[in-house]
A and B are shown apart, each in its own frame.
Chain A
Amino acid sequence: MLFFNDRQRLHKIGGMAALLVATIGLNGPALAGTLVINTDTSDPAPKAAFETAIKGFQAEYPDVEVKWNVFDHEGYKTSIRNFLTAEAPDIAAWYAGNRMAPFVKAGLFEDVSDVWLENGLNDSLASAAPSMTIDGKKWGMPYTYYQWGIYYRQDIFDKLGIATPKTWDELLAASKTLKDNGITPFAIGTKALWPTGGWFDYLDLRVNGYEFHMDLTAGEIPYTDPRVKAVFDKWSDLVEPGYFLENHAAYDWQEAVPFFVKGEAAMYLMGNFAVDLFKSGGLTDSQLGFMQFPEITPGLPKAEDAPTDTLHIPANARNKEDARRFLAYIARPDIQSKMNATLGQLPVNRNATRPEDKYLSQGFEMLASAHALAQFYDRDAPAEMAKAGMEGFQEFMVKPENQDRILERLEKVRGRVYK
Chain B
Amino acid sequence: MSASSPAQEGHCPPALHSSGADIWRRNQRRLAPYLFLAPGAIMFAVYVVVPIFQSMWISLYDWDGIGEKTFIGLANYVELFDDDAFYTSLKNNIIWLVLYMLAVPAGLAIALFLNQTVFGIRLVKSLFFFPFVLSQVVVGLVFAWFYDPGFGLLAELFKAFGTKPIAILADEDYVTYGIIAAGLWPQIAYCMILYLTGLNNISSEQIEAGRLDGARGLSMLWHVILPQLKPATFIAVVVTVIGALRSFDLVSIMTDGGPYGSSRVLAYYMYEQALSEYGYRMGYGASIAVVLFAIMIVYISIFLVRMIAEDRERR
A-side residues, CB < 8 A to B, are 1-2, 5, 9, 12-13, 74, 77-78, 81, 84-85, 102-103, 105-106, 108, 190-193, 246-250, 378, 383-384, 386-387, 391-392, 394-395, 398, 409, 416
Contact = CB atoms under 8 A, between A and B. Distances in A.
A220 to B, nearest CB: 21
B256 A191 contact: yes
A105 B150 contact: no
A108 B65 CA distance: 12
B276 A78 contact: yes
A1 B260 contact: no
Contacts of A191: 170, 255-256, 258-259
B156 interface: no
B205 interface: no
19 contacts: A12-B253, A74-B277, A78-B275, A78-B277, A102-B67, A191-B170, A191-B256, A246-B149, A247-B149, A247-B167, A249-B170, A250-B259, A378-B278, A383-B278, A383-B279, A384-B279, A391-B258, A398-B170, A398-B259
B277 A77 contact: yes
Contacts of A416: 79
Contacts of A384: 278-281
Interface string B250-270: 000101101111000000000
Interface stretch (B109-117, B121-129, B137-145): B137-145
B19 to A, nearest CB: 45
A212 B137 CA distance: 43
Contacts of A398: 170, 172, 259-260
B61 to A, nearest CB: 15
Given A81-B65, A108-B66, A250-B169, A1 B150 contact: yes
The 5 closest A-B pairs by CB, nearest first: A387-B278, A250-B170, A249-B170, A395-B260, A249-B259
B58 to A, nearest CB: 15
B280 A250 contact: no
B148 A249 contact: no
Contacts of B148: 5, 250
Contacts of A378: 278
Interface string B160-190: 0000000101101000000000000000000
Given A5-B145, A398-B170, 8 more contacts: A1-B151, A78-B276, A106-B64, A247-B150, A249-B170, A384-B280, A391-B260, A394-B260
B84 interface: yes
A394 B263 CA distance: 14
Interface of B: 64-67, 79, 84, 137, 141, 144-145, 148-151, 167, 169-170, 172, 253, 255-256, 258-261, 272, 275-281
A9 B249 CA distance: 13
B276 to A, nearest CB: 7
Contacts of A409: 84
Contacts of B277: 74, 77-78, 383
Contacts of A105: 67
Q: Which of A74, A81, A249 has the most CB of B within 10 A?
A: A249
A102 B275 contact: no
Dominant secondary structure of chain A at its interface with chain B: helix
Contacts, number: 84
A19 to B, nearest CB: 13
Contacts of B64: 102, 106
Contacts of B172: 398
A409 B149 CA distance: 30
A1 B258 CA distance: 21
Dominant secondary structure of chain B at its interface with chain A: loop
Nearest to A107: B67
B66 A85 contact: yes
B141 A9 contact: yes
A268 to B, nearest CB: 17
Contact of B66 (A81, A193, A391): A81
A9 B256 CA distance: 12
A394 B149 CA distance: 18
B122 to A, nearest CB: 32
A248 B260 CA distance: 12
Contacts of A108: 66
Nearest to B64: A102
B259 A395 contact: yes
A383 B276 CA distance: 10
A295 to B, nearest CB: 30
Contacts of A13: 137
Nearest to B62: A419
Contact of B280 (A1, A383, A395): A383
A102 B279 contact: no
Contacts of B149: 246-247, 250
A383 B275 CA distance: 12
B286 to A, nearest CB: 16
Nearest to B144: A9
Q: Which of B67, B148, B277 has the most CB of A within 10 A?
A: B277
A103 B278 CA distance: 14
Contacts of A386: 278
Contacts of B167: 246-247, 249-250
Contacts of A250: 148-149, 167, 169-170, 259
Nearest to A77: B277
B147 to A, nearest CB: 8
A13 B172 CA distance: 25
Q: Which of B137, B253, B260 has the most CB of A within 10 A?
A: B260
Contact of A84 (B66, B253, B256, B278): B66
A394 B175 CA distance: 15
Given A1-B151, A13-B137, A247-B149, A394 B258 contact: yes
B259 A394 contact: yes
Q: Which of A77, A78, A383 has the most CB of B within 10 A?
A: A383
Contacts of A102: 64, 66-67, 280
Contacts of B261: 391
A67 B258 CA distance: 38
B279 A249 contact: no
Nearest to B278: A387
